[in-house]
Structure 1
Amino acid sequence: MRTHYLFIICLFFVFSCKTKTEERPNILWITIEDTSPQFIGCYGNTNASTPVIDKLAGEGVRFTNAFSTGTVCSASRSTIITGVRTFKMGTGHQRSQYPIPDEIKGFPYYLKALGYYTTNNSKTDYNIANEKDFIKEAWNESSNKATWKGRAEGQPFFSVFNFAESHQSRTMSWTFEQYEKHVWNHLPEEDRIADDAFDMPPFYNDTPEMRKQFARVYNSIKLTDNRIGELLQQLEADGLRDDTIIFFYADHGEGIPRAKTNGINLGYRVPFAVWFPEKFKHLSPWEIGESTEELVSFEDLGPTMINLLGGKVPDYMKGINFFGDNSEEKNKQLLLSTDRVDNGPDLVRSVTNGRFVYSRNFMPFIPEVRYINYLEIADITKHMRNDLKRGKLNYFQSRIFDERPYEVLYDIENDIWEEHNLAENPKYKSVLEGMRQFLDSTLLTSKDVLFIPEYDMARISETQTPYEYRLDDAKYNFKEIYGAALLSGKKVTEVAKTQINLLKNDNDMVRYWASIGLMSQDKSLLEAYEKELKELLEDDYLPVSITVAAILYKKFKNKQALEVLNNFAKSDDWTLALMSINYMLYVQDRLPFESTIKALLQNPKLNSHVKSACLDFIESQRLRTEI
């Protein structure tokens, strides 16, 4: 009899342990768009009204050093969904849709294999070719109606809800009437934030016109907070709150001029919090209700989810499991990146340790507020450019429209608006050099494929993925290309001489980066080489020919160069046309290009990026010539 009781007790113990072991959390991801932590209450902004987010973070774990790997949605989401960095896959240029290897899956694919019901409501924008097949493989449901409700009884879920109320469209790009219709009119009167109820960032002119526009940021975030509250109420009503770990974060920095699209802290850093129900608090490496300074980036999200739910992380994912307790596996520094956004080219690589942010601008002749049509159509940008033209901006406010230094270093703890560049301050020499070394070693190891002009990326992608192409040293000598690119922005005689010599290199891309670097050189350093530059107008690598034409026109008003730029603006190859028109946008005398641009706009089949650049050209000319 005693043996019988012991058997029953042991059997009960075994089943109890098994039930406890098999109990798995649901995961709810709440993602919002285009939001920096500077505009969220729990991050110290007393003007903001974000009680739902603040409560979620206050009862969970708030991350103070969470970073998007890019500064625009499609590049950021490419890394989130695959766990692979854009500079490895070639997915950094917005809406480029180059192919990726078949073995790279969306990380929810691995959660499905663990028995999870995966849903996405509803943004994808993964910036890859064959996106429909990729989405189908990753998600059980992906639509604006997707929810956890379609799962089998007892099946755990991984559900993403994306809120667009804080998107750049609402905060700046739509007309004020559209903003009122989609944001202001959806807020109860007591929730509306007035134009005089907040502090203006110091890089904006504090005027009634600017305040009217900037209030859109606070009200759009307030509406977002309300929407999150509604979702959490539904989770509660469905009896799922006690079984669900909740993640909250934004997809990149604030959707305003100088933040989103710009390779500085304001473009990268995001609000990020994780909330644990009582039964799963043991899964948190942190004390509930605390904040953590741990460095995390979007590269870490996929591996963390797969690890947390008991799966095996594929080898191609190199991010960390930030729920792990091994300090050796924690991020010490992060490498972040930004590239072309819509019609605005750029290439910035940044390093952060949370306290400092270092950015290397490889195209420093392009300003922080560069020509991107989605920004230029906004009233806030128009006010800024009008104030600039009329001399109403102070040094900091006007500087964001000038050429950038080739490198910047900001102390984010003491300078949250990134006003004071410490790159030439000897007190910070060791910080600067350490971050430079990390940047160089990481890019050389990764073989950053986005140093290839899109002119070639498009052709490479016809037969091979950029991810695989970069690994072939015979095809892609990144070390040599990177050496040429590192000279960009350094305005000294010896560097200019080296860049001129590199224009004779056999490697097309070395010549290209030499020409990109020469764009930033002062005219006085190039006068001795004008004849050599003229000969390169006929370079057989067309990106070099176009860039040299831009140099010759910008510095010497060369008529042949003018003709080259006008001709390439009409190219059937959109990458060449876009390159040529963007160079036109950053010269003083644009009048000789105006007829070409107006003629292009008559073409109903004009590439969308090229059309956006043309529209920027026309609008900027209007602003320049109006009295």
Structure 2
Amino acid sequence: MRIILLTLCMLTIMSCKAQDKPNILWVTIEDTSPHFIGCYGNENTSTPVIDKLAEEGVKFTNAFSTGTVCAASRSTIITGVRSFKKGTGHQRSQYSIPDFIKGFPYYLKQLGYYTTNNSKTDYNIANEKDFVKEAWDESSNKATWKNRAEGQPFFAVFNFAESHQSRTMSWTFEQYQKHVWNHLPEEDKIADDAFDMPPFYNDTPEMRKQFARVYNSIKLTDNRIGELLQKLEEDGLKDDTIIFFYADHGEGIPRAKTNGINLGYRVPFVAWFPEKFKHLSPWETGKPTNKLISFEDLGPTMIDLLGGKVPEYMKGQRLFDSDSNNKKDLLLLSTDRVDNGLDLVRTVTDGKFVYSRNFMPFIPEVRYINYLEIADITKHMRKDLKHGKLNAFQSRVFEERPFEVLYDIENDIWETNNLAGNPKYESIMDNMRQFMDAELLKAKDIMFMPEYEMAKLSKTQTPYEYRLDDNKYKFDEIFKVASLSGKKGEDIAKAQIAYLKHENAIVRYWASIGLMSQEKTLLQSYQKELNEALKDDYSPVAITVSAILYSKFQSKKAMEVLNNFAKNEDWTLALMSINYMLYCQDRTPFEPTIEALLQNQDLNWHVKSACLDFEESQRLKKEI
């Protein structure tokens, strides 16, 4: 009996000791900007569960996703390494990363934690299955803390999809009703006239019907979070668990998600501490903090908080260490290709202003991305644009972007007034420009490499490691020419034309990208040089130059080049060609090519999406 009692005492002591380590619960939601959460100032919404967490915990008012779409953002979250270092910025690309880069829960497992993920991964890397297995003890839609050993602390993630873009816009209205509306009690349902419309949308009954989906989807999400926290309490775990709540990037609506502005990056973020572990928080609970944080910080913070050694390759802040209140003045953010929509934007924010550099400004904010184009809200917007029903600001989202923008996001939350060019803000912009350039040069941003090149490279080595070899990836030269992109004028055009003959193929590519933004009158005298570049043996250059010659001079030869590359077996080249076609004034010569491509049952998914956008845009054009 004494032996049994002694054993029970030892187990109790061990259990109590284990309880000294906090459990960690991550509550993640999808596609949600703080603009639509009650505790962040929206009086039209209903988010009592999230609001209570913020009231009792620490609300971060300057939290930012490092990308504007899920896979790129989650790539940074899980590894603690930025996408422009790993080459994981393009949505659904899955290029290789070094073996030494682990999912950060791997390090928590070494500390004795049970790691469980319910259930989204979407890390945008090669060999994801093995990567997931190494990081998580359990990763499935049934994963929970309940399967851990007795007394073992856990790190658990629960991801809620109720606020995903599928629900808020991309699914049919009937699907939305089935998966969201019908799951809400009558008293929770938010009517079409019960909220303010963002000013970049036309305030019509049709648009309100669609936009109400945002509010109701977030309400259902809040309800689901409440159910999870109730389970935590019923299991007697709440007093031992630190809770983090955040969204994976900005709101899943046109002009927010996928766009390199505040609406694409800024996220709600709350940390809640039970009484037992409040001493771990460097912030006073119940009060907000304006500390700048990003998803790069999450991995190292968790490892450091739970007593582990943060790997050298993780460069983010450790939010709970002794220096956690040191002020970080600026954050660098990024967005790249999303599905079939090409783009490259780099952004700097101090929490009060956001400065974005559009390296492909000829592509509009609401660009052709099939997952957006199938949505009724986007269709309404395009029809209203064609019928002249949109005001200047509402129409602007479909036009070529400025090469740089600056928004006062404290006083202009919908980013309506571009302050770039205003002398009053020149010092702010100059500081942010310098910071961006220095950070990109230091990081050797691999996303400036055409995806055509990266796809080939990733078969033999990792983009992460390739970029570090100055003899192979001459980023200083590349970035010098890329930095001209979007700038207009005779001197810029002359320099870009000269760079079309550079020995470095990627330099030539960025010279051609820059020339896309030059006026026809300026390029008139350079048609000979452009026609020579049309024969460039580096395909991304030939494709881009063909787009210039066709769109500005209706060159028949250029049209043939675009058509031929659209049928290329290399999907990255085909996608580039079709994207350029989509923004041409006269797309009629490309219709037979697109029609033939859509008959191919094995067509690459990205290419098929672009073809469907082309087909639908032509149909809409003819209908109107």
- TM-score in terms of structure 1 length: 0.97
- 1:142 aligned partner: 139
Choose the corresponding residue for 1:176, options 170, 173, 176: 173
Shift of 1:537: 1.1
SS of residue in 2 equivalent to 1:538: coil
Partner Cα distance (1:121, 1:290) in 2: 30
Instruction: Give the aligned partner of residue 430 of structure 1.
Output: 427
Structure 1, residues 189-218: CA drift from partner, whole Å, max 9, x if none?
000000000000000000000000000000
Instruction: Tell me, yes or no, if the aligned pair for 2:15 and 2:151 is still in contact at 8 Å.
Output: no
Q: Shift of the alpha carbon at 1:329?
A: 4.9
Pair 1:335-2:352 in alignment: no
Q: Determine the C-alpha separation between the residues in 2 that align with 1:309 and 1:198.
A: 42
Instruction: Give runs of ≥4 in structure 1 deviating > 2 Å.
Output: 15-22, 327-331
Match of 2:483 among 486, 489, 514: 486
Aligned to 2:160: 163
2:516 corresponds, among 519, 532, 549, to 519
Q: CA deviation at 1:18?
A: 12
- CA shift, 1:332, in A, is 1.6
Alignment partners' CA distance in 2, 1:26 and 1:341: 35
Q: Once the two structures are aligned, what percentage of the paired residues are identical?
A: 79
**Backbone CA RMSD of aligned residues:** 1.3
Residues 1:251 and 2:251 are matched in the alignment:
no
CA displacement 1:501-554 (0-9 Å, x = unmatched): 000100000000000000000001100100110111110100000000000001
- Which residue is equivalent to 2:4? none
Whether 1:473 aligns to 2:443 is no
Give 3-state SS (helix, strand or coil) of 1:291's partner: coil
Deviation for aligned residue 1:327 = 5.9
Q: CA deviation at 1:366?
A: 0.1
TM-score normalised by structure 2 residue count: 0.97
1:113 aligns with 2:105: no
- Counterpart CA distance in 2 for 1:369 and 1:511 is 28
1:564-608, Cα deviation, whole Å (9 max, x unpaired): 000000000000000000000001000000010001000000000
Q: How far apart, in 1, do the equivalents of 2:326 and 2:572 lie?
A: 41
Distance 1:534 1:227, change over 3 A: same
Is the Cα–Cα contact under 8 Å of residues 15 and 150 in structure 2 kept in the other structure? no
- Equivalent residue for 2:543? 546
Tell me how far apart the structure 1 counterparts of residues 258 and 68 of structure 2 sit (CA, whole Å): 5
Q: Indicate the residue corresponding to 1:595 in structure 2.
A: 592
8 Å contact kept, 1:320–1:329? no
Question: Which one of the candidate residues 578, 584, 595 is aligned to 1:581?
Answer: 578
Letter in 2 for 1:50: T
**1:34 corresponds to:** 31
Residues 373-413 of structure 1, C-alpha deviations (whole Å, 9 max, x = no match): 00000000000000000000001100010000000000000
Matched residues in 1 for 2:471 and 2:314: separation?
25
* Alignment correspondent of 1:351: 348
2:372 corresponds to which of 346, 364, 375: 375
Q: Matched residue of 1:34: which SS?
A: coil
1:292 match: secondary structure: coil
> Structure 2: which 5+ residue stretches go unaligned?
1-11
* Counterpart residue number, 1:202: 199
**1:112-155, Cα deviation, whole Å (9 max, x unpaired):** 00000000000000000000000000000000000000000000
Deviations 1:239-272 (A, max 9, x none): 0000000000000000000000000000000000
Q: CA separation in 1, counterparts of 2:121 and 2:479? A: 32
Displacement of 1:16: 10
Equivalent residue in structure 1 for 2:87, among 70, 86, 90:
90
- 1:56: which partner in 2? 53
C-alpha distance in 2 between matches for 1:350 and 1:16: 51
Instruction: String of CA shifts for 1:154-173, please: whole Å, max 9, x gaps.
Output: 00000000000000000000
Which residue, out of 375, 386, 389, partners 1:389? Answer: 386
Q: CA deviation at 1:323?
A: 1.6
- Please name the residue that 1:103 is paired with: 100
Q: How has the CA–CA distance of structure 1 residues 47 and 22 changed in structure 2, closer, same or farther, with 3 Å as cutoff?
A: closer
Distance verdict in 2 for CA 1:18–1:94, change over 3 Å: closer
2:208 maps to which residue? 211
1:505 aligns with 2:502: yes
Task: Say whether the 8 Å CA contact 1:320–1:330 is kept in structure 2.
Answer: no
**Mapped contact 2:355–2:406 kept (Cα < 8 A):** yes
Contact 2:533–2:545 (Cα < 8 Å) also in 1: yes
Q: Residue 625 in 1 paired to residue 617 in 2?
A: no
| Of 224, 227, 230, the match for 2:227 | 230
CA distance in 2, matches of 1:468, 1:457: 12
CA 1:355–1:135 in structure 2 vs 1: closer, same or farther (change >3 Å)? same
Which residue in 2 is equivalent to 1:5? none
| 1:359 counterpart SS class | strand
Conservation of the 8 A alpha-carbon contact between 2:18 and 2:152: no
Q: How far apart, CA to CA, are the structure 1 residues paired with 2:305 and 2:350?
A: 25
What amino acid sits opposite 1:391 in the alignment? G
